[in-house]
Every structure is written in structure tokens, then in C-alpha cells.
Structure 1
């Protein structure tokens, strides 16, 4: 299916405390709850007024590293670094901070399509590694993307690992999770977005395929790439002009380069 193209938040840390629920090691405290770790991920979550915070586990040094003050009566339990290590995934770099909080509320595709059309939307097809999804969110934040869209059945859940890789971007980049990715791409097309899928075999480079209007960047899983049905829902397929010395790029690296190209297009 083809078409033709035509400041930083306040540093006062916020908190809405609730009752903590259990769970260890996986990064998910329980259904509807998530456990985050690491300074950037935890601090961004504390600054996010949309987060319902349950409890902060921390070392004295971890709290001191936060760029702001915790609210009075915020539930903090001080512990050693070794004790905090038992609350998170094995060998996770918690940096003296582990936060139990509610998962973020869902964002609808309609909300995203009402955003600034000059900002690209990133669609991920079957990218299931939370490190990659988190890194892509970080690049999406860096280059002003409006949102990241994934399919529920073919993407990782919100987790501490993903949040750590996103380095705070999980709190600022809307994450839209849809049931049917092909239908979502159809809706984006109807809203005036030009859908470009990245594929190493494409004849055109990304620079050649980029239009001047709203763009959706579609990326598939490493190795398999985009599924056939998703490719059929792209208006163009393009490649990054990498050297023949290497077969392909990690999907998060490819996303960063493509988002930079979109941000700097003429």
C-alpha cells in the first residue's frame, strides 16, 4: 500500500505515595506496578506528576545524588547497596536508588496524532528487547519525536530494565501500545503522515525518501526486520547508507541515526 508524499522541568521532586506491593528481581513489582532503579530513571519518575509513587528504597548517597529535595513525609527506606541489589534484576546498576511506583497510564494514538506534526512518530515492529526499546526512547527524546508506538503482543512491558536504558525518557516520551499495528499505521496515514520503513535491502536511502511533511519512522526487529504486513503498510522503504564492511546496525543505533536525519532535513 503506497501513497505519494506531499526546559527543563522544575527540580522540586514530586511524590504521590501509596501502599507498596511486593515482588522482587524482575523489575515488575506486581500487576499495575513497576520497580525502577538508577539515578536518571528514578529522578525522572519522581519529577513526573503523572506517576503515583509508592516507596523509595535508597542509600544515603543515593538520596544525596538527587537533583532536588524529596517531599516531606515521602516514604523512604534506607538500606545498604547490597540490600538494594536484592530488590532488582541481577547485577542491575541501581546507583543506590530503587523506586516502587505505579505503571504509567496508557496514551492513545489519537492524542499523539494531535501533537506537533513536525515531530516524527517512531513505530516499532516486534522489537522485544527492553534495552533496545529504552535506548530508542532515549533517542526519541533527544531528537524531539512525538511518541513511540508498539504492539502489545510484540513489545516488552514497562520495566526497570527498559527505564534504565531510557535514562529518564520513559517519563517524557509518550508510549502508545496498540492492539493492531497495521491499523495504527493506516490511521497515521489518514492523519497525513508519510510512513517510512527502514530496511537494509531498500534501493533508496533515507535522505532520498524523506518528505517535507509529517513522518512516521518504522523499524523492525534485528535480524528479521519488519513483518511483511507492516512493510505493506509503509509508503516507502529506505536504508541507511552504511559501509559494506558491516552487515547491519543495532536497531537502537539505526533509530538514533534516522531520527537525527529527520531532525536535520532541509
Structure 2
């Protein structure tokens, strides 16, 4: 029985798996790929191409309602998360929809995703292709706090599909937030994000932060890139003035000077 693809989950639901900080984008189900199956059960992946660290939407059909399901990538347990509920099991119609996270160490090329029920009576599989992650560079990679608050950092990614919409996030080892707005990769597949923190806001202090970029369906995730914010350099100590003799003024009176002041923003 076929069914319409469900809206994919909010990315915050699996932020710890992607970045340990979160990439907060809404994922969209794309078209399915042809599947192979060893029984009446079937399995499809949407899309059928992803990077290491990316995710695909798996749709399994034809299983016994309520049966527990297990997923593998090339024979190794695969991390999955159902769109509905908490259990990896077939619903009342014998169907299942959930996200699968492609391991960070997945090699480039064709891989097989399989699903098996508890009794191993129903087995289905499909293939996906793991492609190279887009590359990333950040400028500057180390920045003093005052400069960071004033000018931020710029991250450039290369290797996305030209015209592809890309979402961004920034975070540390514990949390992350979405950087708005999204951007569209240019004709060369490159896209740039400029991040300037708000004083007193998230990730606006000294520390090491990571910026990540991904396609809006989270299947293509760029290489991770980080930068470090350091303390501002201490001001150089000035030499104390020599002691003046009694009755001698330390300095002449200052003369007021008018000057222009400009404002921006």
C-alpha cells in the first residue's frame, strides 16, 4: 500500500546527532528511490544520495502490523528515528517512516540499507550512494572577542549542487541555534554565511564554536569547521610620569578641541 510522504521532523529532534549543537532546519521529504526486496515487504530511501553525517527518509511497507523493525547499513546497525512515536515498529498498516542517520565514517560509494522484522520473515533493502561532503573554510579561524563582536566570522562552503538551498547553524559541544536566513548555492556550488553575534546573546563569549551547513532535507551535510574566540589582549602598561617638584604643575591645562563624530546603523 503506497502512502504520501509525511513532513519530516524538526531538525532539533536530532541536533545532537548532527552537530552535538543542533542544526535547526525543517526537513522536507523528497522523491523515493527504487528499492529491492526479498519478500512482499519493500523499502525506499528519500533521497537516495547523501553524505556521511547526513540523513535520509526511509519508508518501509508490507510488514506485519506491530512488528519490531531493525535497520542496518551494510550489515551494521543503523541509527533511525521514527516520524511518529518512539518505537521502530510497523504501524497498523504494516508501514514505517523514519529518518536514518548516515554514519560519519561512511565511505564514498554505494551502500545497502536493509530492514528486518523481529522474526526475520520479512526483509527488504534499498541502496543509497554516499557522496563527498562540501568543503568549508572560516575567516578568521582565531579572533579576539572585541573583533568577533564587531565583525564576526565568515564561512565559505564549496561543493553543494548549484541552486541548492542551504541552511546554517552555529553551536558548541552542548547546544546550537539556526542562523538565518538560508542561502542558495551559486553556479559553482559555493555558498557563504557571515555570522556576527549579538553582545550578550548566544555564542558571544570566548570559546570554540562550530558552524555547519546542510541541504534543507539534511541529506547533504558539509564538513565541520570551527573557530576560536580568545580574550582581548591586555593594554600595554604605560610608564609612570616622573615625580614633579613641589609647586610644579604636572601638565598644562587642556584646550578644548571640537571634532566631528559619525554614527552608523
TM-score (norm: length of structure 1): 0.26
Larger % of helix: which? Answer: 1
Larger % of strand: which? Answer: 2
Which of 1 and 2 has greater Rg? 2
